[in-house]
């Protein structure tokens, strides 16, 4: 969405003329060519629409007009010294409002965010002004009118998908940049707006155009409605989205994914985090088949890595990410995802940082653009370059979106979880002040929690529990001090197996398991009686289980695991850049 001071002026004039009963033709006689472009951009954003022969404000357009009128009336916004190009609302401002909302209305956690919102009258004394929420309501309620003309399609093809430096856009028409941002196809970064990226829909539309889609006429909302509903229309065939038999072409697959994301955007931001020891373990497992955990740890120690606790943690984490599995014979092996990861030479050049991966997965969402620090890190690690993802970057984003997570939680990570508020985001600085631990160690724990899907981090460095994290935090509430690994893949497999053979009681807050069903649970868990017994003992110590019954804490963990499945997202892989 985009509303500049010039756009606001057009909205004001539309409203004035409507009250005077002046028709569209009279209005068009009075406005400049620039204002006509703004009117079309407002239509693209869903703030005005055509009704017979008139342009009429939508509910979202009226909300925006009334909000800024009130801010000006209250003396909180002064546009007298602003040019028509001044951005009152943009993808960046919407991102700021969303992040501040997640912080329960606080804006003082970021100097840049607070200053930008205060300048627009949307924040006061470190908190969102109540009227700011009207803008979020307008954004969420607006119906984007997709209008991709042949000339705009040509511009879209020229834009590297991002994230990239804003300087990559300097040679493109200004009006096209506004049109793409109005239609939620292009976003700019937090905190400073130095970087841009195409959104999920923008990326897939670009891929469709680059791989053969040939728009001789405008692509519009109806085009997307047709392809997502499976209609084999002549316009779709002329576009090159369907062949003569009505089958999707390669370009058509990307157009279909663009349509799916247009009507149902990706709302999660999956990640992955692997340090050098994790990568070394994967490399050893690539070389050695059917090796037991003890043998692998001995091999690593002989290679100079003599930290048994860290090695075991690495194996837990790799299994939790679905990159390694423990067989029923208690040997370790790479999964297909693990093999795919370690085969790529670029992966071995640098550890995988959760923020680096989010620089590549955030762009699949509707409006958020990655934090500028994430883009810098991804570039440094070789996952990005001049607005294009590398083979490393593409692989990491693909795996992050495909893995089924079973979070591993260490004692150190549990301490951080317990200090994160259940329903409110807090800044990195606020988190660091809570611990005597070195900042580097706290940040390492945060990255692992992010990659596990337990914690979300928003552009602007705001951290909050994810919906799954809220459940998991509550499930861990009974863990006593001194437990090194409150959650491991074996504990998860135990809980999942007992749930499969048990019966729900107390309104679903407890799952009862009879002793006769234990052997069946051992077989479902597929980890052998000894490993099952050790996991059972650990789960009892952590108060997830009493006897063989799963307590409410264990049920909460299982509910969190179900929510984590939402991090698995469909994305049509882009091979043409």
User: Rounded to the nearest 5°, which phi and psi values hold at 120?
Assistant: -100, 5
Whether this model's pTM surpasses 0.75? yes
According to the model, what pLDDT value does residue 575 have?
Answer: 82
Task: Give, for all 577 residues of the chain, the pLDDT tens digit.
Answer: 999 999 999 999 888 877 776 655 556 666 788 989 999 999 999 999 987 777 889 999 999 999 999 999 999 999 999 999 999 999 999 999 999 999 999 999 999 999 999 999 999 999 999 999 999 999 999 999 999 999 999 999 999 999 999 999 989 999 999 999 999 999 999 888 999 999 999 999 999 999 999 878 789 999 999 999 999 999 999 999 999 999 999 999 999 999 999 999 999 999 999 999 999 999 999 998 889 999 999 999 988 888 888 999 999 999 999 999 988 778 899 999 999 999 999 998 999 999 999 999 999 998 888 899 999 999 999 999 999 999 999 999 999 999 999 999 999 999 999 999 998 899 999 999 999 889 999 999 999 999 999 999 998 889 999 999 999 999 999 999 999 999 999 999 999 999 999 999 988 899 999 999 999 999 999 888 999 999 999 999 999 999 999 999 999 999 999 999 999 998 988 887 7
Of all helices (H) and strands (E), which one includes residue 223? helix 221-228
According to the model, what pLDDT value does residue 214 have?
Answer: 86
User: Rounded to the nearest 5°, which phi and psi values hold at 124?
Assistant: -145, 135
According to the model, what pLDDT value does residue 52 have?
Answer: 73
Are 181 and 91 spatial neighbours (Cβ–Cβ below 8 Å)?
Answer: yes
Q: What structural domains and CATH numbers belong to the chain?
A: 3-141 (no CATH), 147-263 (no CATH), 276-401 (1.10.10), 406-576 (1.10.10)
According to the model, what pLDDT value does residue 459 have?
Answer: 87
Q: Tell me, what DSSP letter sits at residue 553?
A: H
According to the model, what pLDDT value does residue 328 have?
Answer: 72
CA 544, chain centre distance (Å)? 30
According to the model, what pLDDT value does residue 350 have?
Answer: 94
Q: Beta strands 219-220 and 147-148: pairing type?
A: antiparallel
Q: What is the pLDDT of residues 90-108, one digit of tens each?
A: 999 999 999 999 999 999 9
The answer, yes or no, to whether the previous bond of 304 is cis (omega within 30 of 0) is no
Token pair of 428 as six digits: 């990195």
What is the C-alpha to C-alpha distance for residues 286 and 522, in angstroms, rounded to an integer? Answer: 28
Q: Beta strands 510-512 and 503-505: pairing type?
A: antiparallel
Give the three-state DSSP class for 49.
Answer: strand
DSSP string, 51-111: ETTEEEE-HHHHHHHHHHHHHHHTTS---TT--TT-EEE-HHHHHHHHHHHHTTTB-TT-H
What is the C-alpha to C-alpha distance for residues 407 and 415, in angstroms, rounded to an integer? Answer: 15
What is the C-alpha to C-alpha distance for residues 446 and 110, in angstroms, rounded to an integer? Answer: 19
Of all helices (H) and strands (E), which one includes residue 165? strand 164-165
Q: How many CB atoms lie within 10 A of CB 15?
A: 17
What is the C-alpha to C-alpha distance for residues 543 and 138, in angstroms, rounded to an integer? Answer: 46
According to the model, what pLDDT value does residue 306 have?
Answer: 86
Q: What is the pLDDT of residues 393-431, one digit of tens each?
A: 999 999 999 999 999 999 999 999 999 999 889 999 999
What is the C-alpha to C-alpha distance for residues 510 and 558, in angstroms, rounded to an integer? Answer: 11
């Amino acid at each position: 969405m985009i509303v500049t001071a010039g756009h606001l002026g057009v909205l004001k004039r539309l409203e004035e003329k409507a009250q005077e009963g002046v028709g569209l033709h009279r209005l068009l006689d009075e406005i400049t060519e620039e204002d006509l472009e703004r009117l079309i951009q407002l239509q693209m954003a869903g703030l005005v629409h055509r009704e017979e022969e008139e342009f009429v404000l939508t509910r979202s357009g009226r909300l925006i007009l009334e909000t800024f009128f009130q801010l000006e009336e209250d003396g909180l916004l002064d546009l007298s010294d602003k040019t028509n190009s001044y951005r009152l609302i943009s993808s960046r401002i919407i991102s700021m409002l969303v992040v501040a909302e997640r912080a329960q209305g606080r804006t003082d956690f970021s100097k840049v965010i607070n200053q930008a919102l205060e300048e627009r009258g949307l924040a006061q004394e470190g908190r969102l002004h109540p009227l700011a929420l009207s803008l979020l309501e307008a954004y969420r309620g607006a119906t984007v009118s997709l209008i991709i003309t042949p000339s705009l399609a040509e511009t879209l093809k020229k834009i590297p998908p991002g994230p990239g430096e804003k300087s990559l856009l300097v040679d493109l028409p200004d009006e096209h940049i506004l049109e793409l941002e109005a239609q939620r196809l292009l976003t700019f970064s937090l905190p400073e707006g130095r970087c841009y990226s195409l959104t999920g829909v923008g990326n897939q539309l670009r891929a469709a155009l680059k791989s053969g889609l040939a728009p001789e006429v405008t692509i519009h909302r109806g085009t997307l409605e047709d392809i997502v509903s499976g209609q084999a229309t002549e316009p779709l065939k002329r576009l090159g989205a369907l062949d003569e038999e009505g089958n999707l072409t390669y370009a058509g697959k990307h157009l279909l994914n663009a349509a799916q994301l247009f009507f149902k955007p990706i709302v999660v931001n999956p990640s992955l985090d692997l340090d050098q020891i994790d990568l070394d373990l994967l490399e050893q497992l690539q070389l050695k088949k059917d090796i037991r955990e003890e043998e692998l740890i001995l091999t690593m120690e002989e290679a100079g890595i003599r930290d048994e606790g860290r090695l075991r943690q690495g194996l837990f984490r790799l299994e939790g990410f679905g990159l390694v599995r423990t067989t029923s014979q208690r040997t370790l092996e790479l999964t297909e995802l693990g093999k795919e990861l370690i085969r790529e030479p670029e992966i071995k050049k640098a550890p995988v940082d959760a923020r680096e991966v989010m620089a590549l997965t955030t762009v699949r969402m509707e409006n958020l653009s990655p934090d500028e620090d994430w883009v810098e890190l991804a570039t440094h690690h070789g996952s990005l370059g001049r607005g294009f993802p590398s083979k490393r970057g593409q692989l990491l984003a693909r795996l992050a979106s495909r893995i089924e997570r079973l979070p591993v939680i260490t004692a150190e990570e549990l301490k951080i979880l317990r200090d994160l508020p259940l329903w409110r985001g807090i800044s990195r600085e606020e988190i660091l002040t809570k611990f005597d631990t070195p900042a580097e160690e706290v940040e390492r724990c945060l990255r692992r929690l992010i990659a596990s899907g337990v914690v979300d981090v928003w552009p602007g460095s705001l951290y909050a529990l994810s919906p799954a994290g809220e459940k998991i935090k509550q499930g861990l509430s009974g863990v006593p001090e001194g437990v090194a690994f409150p959650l491991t893949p074996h504990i998860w497999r135990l809980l999942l197996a007992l749930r499969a053979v048990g019966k729900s009681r107390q309104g679903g807050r407890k799952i009862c398991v009879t002793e006769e069903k234990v052997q069946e649970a051992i077989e479902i868990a597929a980890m052998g009686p000894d490993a099952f017994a050790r996991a059972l003992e650990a789960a009892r110590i952590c108060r997830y289980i009493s006897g063989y019954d799963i307590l409410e804490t264990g049920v909460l963990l299982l509910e969190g695991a179900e929510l984590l499945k939402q991090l698995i997202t469909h994305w049509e892989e882009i091979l043409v850049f």
